Amino acid sequence: MVDLTANNLQDIRKKLEKIGLPESLLPAVEQEAADTKTAYFYVGHNMELDKESVNLVLGFQDNRKGNFVPDLLGLSLKPDRQNVKDQNSFFLLPGDELTVKEAFNLMKGRAVHRPAGLEGEENYWMRLSKEKTWHGVAMPEMVNSRFSVERWMDGSGLDAVLSPEKRAAVISSLQAGDRVDLGTLLSRKEQALFLQANPEVNRVELQDQYRKLMDLKHFIPAHSVTAGRRRKMQ
């Protein structure tokens, strides 16, 4: 039985916020810590991501200093042949933690852009590998690409029709591996269209709801595309 200290709870609160989990999990964390008879315990949670119900567990380990720290994130998704994995776990390395949404996107087969962190001096893209595993857990691996979503945006034509705030939000979402709803951005609801980063081919792809590739220039004003190309050349 362990009573978590105020400082330990504050550290856990910050970690939950950093990886995208609600503070409302704290009472469950305290209860599991009080009930545990080992140096490890788990807390479960359910949330919705991209309109999909996701079950997750967060593992807490005694750091041998009287504190418990979250060090493992496990996700279970609705089975889908497009998923790299329906179930997987991710290590929460200090200073290089994945968010829950990034972990979800990796399992969906999407690329995620990460800050240098523990991996080196430069930012990098990564995907979840079907081949690179450790005890059945699929491991993220770096993608050999210097693709820049910002540079792509400059020549896409979207730059001319989005406000600076929306532009920044789209870039951040694409780097996190999100599928960005283009119809909502352009107030076009007649067809489901999504933007998704594909760093291996150095572009952001436009897909319909069936993941069929579409041509972006058909869905934005022609003068916007021309203006974007001129800015890219300057």
Residue 1: pLDDT band (50, 70, 90) is low
Tens-digit pLDDT profile for residues 62-91: 987 778 999 999 999 999 999 999 999 999
> How large is the average pLDDT for residues 38-61?
95
Question: Which of 127, 131, 91 lies closest to 112, judged by CA?
Answer: 127
Residue 187: pLDDT band (50, 70, 90) is confident
* Lowest-confidence segment of 11-15, 56-60, 64-68, 141-145 by average pLDDT: 64-68
Per DSSP, 161 falls in state T
What phi and psi, each to the nearest 5 degrees, are found at residue 42?
Answer: -125, 150
The count of other CB atoms within 10 Å of the CB of residue 216 is 18
99 has a pLDDT exceeding 70: yes
Strands 52-62 and 180-181: unpaired
- State the pLDDT at residue 167: 93
34 has a pLDDT exceeding 50: yes
229 has a pLDDT exceeding 90: no
Q: What is the pTM of this model?
A: 0.88
- State the pLDDT at residue 120: 60
